Structure formats: C-alpha cells, structure tokens
A and B are shown apart, each in its own frame.
Chain A
Amino acid sequence: MKLTTTFAAALLAATVMSGAAAAKTFVYCSEGSPEGFDPGLYTAGTTFDAAAHTVHNRLLEFKPGTTETIPGLAEDYEISEDGLEYTFKLRPGVKFHTTDYFTPTRELNADDVVYSFERQWKSDNPWNKYVAGANWEYFNGMGLPDLLESVEKVDDLTVRIKLKRPEAPFLASLAMPFASIMSKEYLDKLEADGQMHLLNQQPVGTGPFQFVAYQQDAVIRYKANPDYWNGKQKIDDLVFAITPDASVRYQKLKAGECHLMPFPNSADVEEMKADPNLKVLEQEGLNVAYLAYNTKIAPFDDVRVRKALNHAINKEAIVEAVFQGQATPAKNPIPPTMWSYNDAIEDDAYDLDAAKKLLEEAGVSSLDMKLWAMPVSRPYMLNARRAAEIMQSDFQKIGVNAEIVSYEWAEYLERSKAEDRDGAVMLGWTGDNGDPDNFLHTLLGCEAVGGNNRAQWCNEEFNSLVMKAKEASDIDERTRLYEEAQVVFKREAPWATIVHSLSVVPMRKNVEGFVQSPLGDFAFEGVDLVE
C-alpha cells in the first residue's frame, strides 16, 4: 500500500538522519487523551495506560494475563498471623528516571513508598491538595483511609503497612495504578521550586518507559528507561497516537501507522481476523452487565418472579445484536477470568414456558414494570437501549409489560441507588483489582444497599460468606467461600446476569510479547516488534 511504503521509507530515512542504529518505535493508537499523568488522581483506564503502566511501578504487580499478584518493587513480603501487618522488602538498586527535567541522586528506598501513600492519605501532607479538586479517587474508593492504620519505614529497604482489620483483598489493591510509587526526591524538588503542578505533567517513576513529551489530544512520547530494573525494553521509543475514532484507528492499523489498537468497532473485527497482516487477541473483560431487580419491592421480593424473568432473557440475541458476537452470556456475577469462578453453576436457560410457569406459581398473571436502560455506551454494555428492547419484546411474550426508561447518565446513577426505586435497573461493573471481593462484596453486600448494591439485596447467608472471605488470607479457603457465595447468588437471583463483554485487541502480525490483561490494561513492558 502506498502509505505503508511511504511511511516505512520515511521512517528509515528519519532513523538514518538521526544517526541511531534502527531505533525501534512502537506506536499505540490510543482511544483518548489521558486526564493527567499522576495516576493517583484519576480513575480512567486511558489515563492509567498513559501514566501508570508506562512510567511507574508498584509494590506488587499483576502477573501478565491474570489477576494474581506477583512481586514488583517489593521483592518479598510477609503477613503477620493476625493479618494486620504487612512487611515489604524492597528491591535494591532500583533507579528512578533521569530526564531533561530531573536527575535523581539516589535509588528507590522506603521513604518513596511511604510518601507515595501519605500524599494521598494525610491531609497535612503538602501534596494532598496540590491541584484544585485533587481527589484521590481510588485511594478513597478502595476504602484505604478506613483500612490503613499506618505506613512506616522500618529501614531503607523495608516498609511496614498496618491495617485496622484483616482484609485479604488489600494486596490486590497495592497492584493497582493509583498505588504507583513516586520519587520523594522529585516531589521535594518540585515543592521547593514552587512547581508542584508539574507532577501531573512531567512524571518521574521507575517504570520501563520514561516520559518525553505530550502534545495535548495528539501524541504522547516515551523512551525506554535504560536503567530499568527488569531489563531495558526492546522497544526504544514508545508513541501513543491519540485517535478517538475507532474506524480511524483501524485505518491506521491497516496502513501500518500503528502497531496496536484498543476498542475496535465490533463490525470491523471479522475483517481484522481475516487480514493476513494483523492478529487479533480476544478475552473476556473483567466486567459484567446485569439487570438488578429491586428485591425490596413486590413482586420482585419473590424469588420465583425474579427467576421467571431471568428465564425470559435471550442472552444470545443480545450478544449478537448489541455486541456483534463479541460477548459471552453471563451466568455468574464475576467473569470467568477471575479466580474462584464457579463453572459448575448452571445458568437460567432462555425458556419462556418455564418463565410462564414460575410466574403462575408466584400468582402473578400480568405485570407492569419499568426497565431502566443506560443512555451512554459502557464497556460492559455497548447499547443498553437495544438490549432493553430485546428484553422488552421477550417479556411481552410472558405477559410482562416493560416500559423502557432512561435518564441522563449522572442522574441515572443517582436515581438507581434509591431503595424505593421502581423497576429493574440495567447496569454493569468493571473490576478494579481482580479480586472477587471487588464484585461480590462491593455490589451485593449488605453494606452496599442504598449504594452500589442496586438490587437492594441483603442476604444473611451470602453476606457472611463474603465477609469471611474478606478476612481469610488463605487463597484456597477464600476460593471455597466465594464459590459457595455464587451458588447462593444463583439460587436467590437478585440480578439477571446478562453478559461479559469481550475485550478485543487487534495488532500487527509482527508484535510479540503483548499479553491481554483481564483488567483491560494496555501495558507495553515486554513487547517487541520482530521483522
């Protein structure tokens, strides 16, 4: 193709001119602009891809392709008997980036770790409000201010974190982007220079790539960290080309202008798979789309009615019409990629007769209900309206009149929380840290009624199972508890679990080493371009 050869020829010419020996440049066509470069401040995956996975490391990391935690900046750790103390041994010899704007004089030590947490936690820390509206979303969202007792330096390479109560999912939280470790030296320098806002524009970390430049809404440039503790990357230059339109991303991928892209149009995926120059990776996202009944209001307080409606939902049709095949019907509230997924559970089959029978048993002859559909496209549900229309027409066949309602997004989120809400609400969830607690307790626990628990469902049995699993630190025990919880969930059916959407990542054939993260991260450590 004209463009590829021109591009390739020009790239060759450019590298010859720059005198470097064939510097490898990897271009990632990203789907949006990062909100900023301080991962603690934000929650969007786009921002984490640009800020956290490139430039920073955390105490623990997720093993590529899984939600298990492995050592990161902490090469080892110990948990005390009572589950309240975590002692981390830091990796020696880890260097921070040397850039145009900062030269570190020392290596990573415990001060950096302590400071990275304190800045988000303590309101007297000079960095706590360093930008107007600084809101440490995830630090607060994961409940850390209530959980942490203290974060202390034991010696230069040892950090002890004390919790107020045992919480096994805590480790997974440490691998999340917000827990990226900053350079205290850099922060101090910025503070002394009166340039604190630069932390959000010119980041310094220990990660595989270091920040070079950002042209707003256009391009982000990184180069490989020559002193990376895990080995210098094979890619010399990493470029994020911000391309919000999915068809444009596809064109660029086809033309060889980018090597990898996220979030393709479902309609293009078939063609991508057939293209000999591309390869396509697919994996269930760490998400679930569900329809939450209000279990406090009749007739949805009767499990038979809930089960009946479950049987009337044609998940396959939704997969095809809304996702063009790129989703899998969901039977559990957690996705298959998550550990403790109970595959032995059987789904409520699409069976209109069974549905009608159950409604009869419950003494419900005709039912009018509201069906809430989101006004915006979400990663777990691309078109809620379309899905709702499919459900509506099936419900009609069993004598249920569903009226589709919608509100403006923020209002939708607000109103759907109400305990006396009228109707079944469609919503979804994308996992934060790969821990089942993040789904099962956050969305279905008794504490969350009136909040994240949109089914207003408080079930003693289920709740005690997930609470116990929260405290246990043995992973087998936790797995067992969560599997049981899923059985209870299926029996009581506070939700109709709809689908888990597939995450599809197309890339050029010559891209090696990219592993799809169940959390939807795009990290380029270990990625290479072969000839």
Chain B
Amino acid sequence: MLQFLFRRLAVLIPTFIGVSIIAFAFIRLLPGDPVQMMAGERVISPERHAELSQQLGFDRPIVVQYLDYLGGIVTGDFGNSIVTKRPVLNEFLSLFPATLELSLCAILLAVLVGVPLGIIAAVKRGSWFDQSVMGVALVGYSMPIFWWGLLLIIFFSGVLQLTPVSGRISLMYFFPPVTGFMLIDSLLSGQAGAFKSALSHLILPTIVLATIPLAVIARQTRSAMLEVLSEDYVRTARAKGLPPRRVIGLHALRNALIPVVTTIGLQIGVLMAGAILTETIFSWPGIGKWMVDSVFRRDYTVVQGGLLLIAIIIMVVNLLVDVLYGLINPRIRY
C-alpha cells in the first residue's frame, strides 16, 4: 500500500512541475501588458512603465522569473494579485470555502439521488421507471447549465419568489466566519433564521451544479449494476434462494460501486468547471468567479496561481480516489 502511494506521488511530482510550467507559460502568452491595463485610458510615461514592470518582476529573464516563482510556491507564496496587491493564496483561501461548500453539497446531492436511482433503474430494467430515469438523466447531461440556472432563477426567484436571487446568506445576518462554510457558521452563530437563510441561498446553485454529475452518476451506477447483476455469482446467490434485497445490497452493490467511485472522483473536475458557470450566474463569491474575473482583468498572478492551486486540488482528489478505489476493489493488491 505504502509502495503504491509513493509510486503515485512520484508520478505527481513531474505532473505538478509540468502543470506549473504550463500555468506560468500561459500567462506570459496572454496578450496585453498588465501595466497598461492597470493604467487604463490614462497613458503612463515610459519611466513609470519601467518602474512598475521592475516592481512586478517582469523585466527579469523568464527562467529566473519561473524559478523564483517555483521557489515561492514551496513556501506558500503564490505571488500577489496585480489588481488588489494582496497575496494570491490568501484570496484563494478566503474564497475557496464558498466553492467547496457548494461543490460538496452538489456532489452529495448527486450521489444521494443518483446512486439509488441508478440501482433501482437497473433492478427494474426496461420498466417505465428505468426509461424515464434514463431519459431525464440524458437530458440532464445534455443541458447547458448556465441556461438551466437562468431558467431556475426566472422561475423560482422571479415568478414564485421562493428563493433568493444571489449571495450566500441574507444581508441582515452578520457573524464572523469560523469555518468559511455558511451552513456551519450560521448554526454556530446561534442567530435564529440564519441557517434557514443560508440553506435557501444554497438550494438553487446546488441543484444547478449537481445536475450533470447526478445524471452521469445515475447512468454509470445503472450500467455497473446491470453488468454485475448479470454475473454468474449473482445468479448463484439468487439460485441459493437469498432474498433479492440481500443479493442486491450485499453482493451486487459492493462490486457495482467500484466503477461508480471512480466516476464520482472524475466528477470533481466537472464540478470545478461547472462551478465557474454556476458562480457567475448566482454571484456566488467563490473561486470560479474569481478566476473568470481575473482572466478578463489580465491579473496574471491570480490566473497563474489559481490555475495551479485548482490543478493541485484536482490531482490530490484523483490520488485519493485512486487510493479509495484500491481499498475497495479486492482485485487490486498493492
């Protein structure tokens, strides 16, 4: 096991270096001079331009810039935002809990609804239930989620006025962030109605973000279950007279869940990408929106640092999924 872990980590290092090179290089390729961007229509003198470029470190040879950067990362210094002058890591950490909370709720929703739906659909294969679940799932992952979000806003916030339009919690609640998770913090604050407000703000974005993963997980679970259910050992269990529940729950499910776990893990990347669109629509103050804004503002350091940090997270999650997969799949021995 440990050997496996080390081997995987060893693979991660060159991947990480490659990721950092790409993130670094990309940003240097972005057209447009960030110093000029900061000045706007106002023209700055060449001396001033040189001074600023020097302060931001743009005048040194690129390899030196890269090595400085790499060195900084190891100590946790991802540079400072060109726009706000604040450390990229700090901004990331202050915004990440919002995205994390949303993503976790979304994946939770996707798993809690998708897996059972997939199982039942597989068991009742060919029935109207099966067909409708699969139909809805297909629509789900064919959906442009930015449009889906807009529709839900029009309907639930505009027409029905049931849910709030944006933000994480109603403005009247003010408490210091402890964990960064609005749901937890609102409970900790003890203010009546805060939790309910946080929850109501979370509903629509979660539904929108969870749509694609839910659809994929449902389909994947169903496929996995179908494959397992047709295996010989299941037939044997049935022939032995075991009640169907036991057959499904004990024997089939465990094996079916193996590919499903991989799928869930792979959805993390989808979630991060989906978070960009969801956060934009719902004005959810998370890293997705932060990244989009920074690309538009040519905030080099933020785009670079943000890409890197997100990539690190995805790599770590993939590693965890691999480990988890190894743990639950008895066929893989390390």
Contact = CB atoms under 8 A, between A and B. Distances in A.
Interface of A: 1-3, 7, 10-11, 13-14, 17, 25, 27, 35-36, 41, 43, 129, 131-135, 137, 140-141, 197, 200-201, 213, 215-219, 221, 239, 241-245, 248, 251-252, 257, 408-411, 413-414, 417, 427-430, 448, 451-452
B189 interface: no
A41 B85 contact: yes
Contacts of A221: 174
Contacts of B42: 43, 141, 452
Nearest to B37: A410
B126 to A, nearest CB: 44
A133 B52 contact: yes
B56 A133 contact: yes
Contacts of B157: 251
Nearest to B175: A213
6 contacts: A43-B42, A131-B86, A133-B80, A137-B39, A200-B85, A216-B285
Given A11-B172, A132-B80, A133-B82, A243 B41 contact: no
Given A7-B170, A248-B283, A135 B55 contact: yes
Contact of B283 (A43, A213, A244, A448): A244
A217 B36 contact: no
Contacts of B135: none
Contacts of B38: 43, 135, 137
B167 A218 contact: yes
A385 B102 CA distance: 38
Interface in B240-261: none
A219 B166 contact: no
B37 to A, nearest CB: 5
A413 B42 CA distance: 9
B11 interface: no
B40 A133 contact: no
Interface of B: 31-34, 36-45, 48, 52, 55-56, 80, 82-86, 91, 94-95, 157-158, 161, 164-168, 170-174, 176-177, 191-193, 283, 285, 289-290, 298
B177 A410 contact: no
Given A27-B171, A257-B171, A410-B36, A213 B176 contact: yes
Given A27-B171, A241-B167, A411 B31 contact: yes
A198 to B, nearest CB: 11
B166 A245 contact: yes
Given A218-B168, A248-B283, A428-B41, 20 more contacts: A3-B164, A7-B172, A13-B193, A43-B38, A43-B42, A129-B55, A133-B55, A134-B55, A135-B55, A137-B39, A140-B48, A141-B39, A215-B285, A241-B167, A242-B283, A243-B167, A248-B166, A252-B166, A408-B31, A452-B42
Nearest to B95: A216
B56 A410 contact: no
B289 A217 contact: yes
Contacts of A252: 165-166
Contacts of A10: 170, 172, 193
A243 B166 contact: yes
A451 B176 contact: no
Contacts of B161: 1-3
A428 B166 CA distance: 33
Q: Nearest 8 CB-CB pairs, A to B?
A: A410-B32, A217-B285, A451-B43, A131-B85, A218-B285, A132-B80, A35-B84, A410-B37
Contact of B158 (A134, A239, A244, A251): A251
Nearest to A430: B41
A43 B196 CA distance: 39
A452 B43 contact: yes
Contacts of A129: 55
Contacts of B289: 217
Nearest to A129: B55
Contacts of B43: 413, 417, 448, 451-452
A239 B171 contact: yes
B177 A215 contact: yes
A201 to B, nearest CB: 8
Looking at B31, B94, B174, the one whose CB has the most chain A CB atoms below 10 A away is B174
B151 to A, nearest CB: 14
Contacts of B176: 213
Nearest to B91: A216
Contacts of B167: 218-219, 241, 243
Given A1-B161, A133-B52, A140-B48, A219 B171 contact: yes
Looking at A132, A248, A257, A429, the one whose CB has the most chain B CB atoms below 10 A away is A132
Looking at B44, B166, B168, B285, the one whose CB has the most chain A CB atoms below 10 A away is B166
Looking at B33, B40, B82, B170, the one whose CB has the most chain A CB atoms below 10 A away is B40
Looking at A14, A218, A448, the one whose CB has the most chain B CB atoms below 10 A away is A218
B94 A36 contact: no
A413 B32 CA distance: 9
Nearest to A413: B36
Nearest to A11: B172
A524 B71 CA distance: 46
A427 B43 CA distance: 13
A131 B165 contact: no
Nearest to B43: A451
A41 B33 CA distance: 19
A410 B192 contact: no
A35 B83 contact: yes
Looking at A41, A409, A427, the one whose CB has the most chain B CB atoms below 10 A away is A409
A486 B104 CA distance: 62
Nearest to B296: A376
A239 B173 CA distance: 11
B283 A413 contact: no
A462 to B, nearest CB: 19
Contact of A411 (B32, B91, B94, B173): B32
A358 B61 CA distance: 54
Given A35-B84, A410-B32, A14 B172 contact: yes
B204 to A, nearest CB: 13
Contact of A43 (B36, B40, B95): B40
Contact of A429 (B41, B86, B283): B41
A294 to B, nearest CB: 16
Looking at B45, B84, B158, the one whose CB has the most chain A CB atoms below 10 A away is B84
A221 B52 CA distance: 33
Contacts of B45: 451
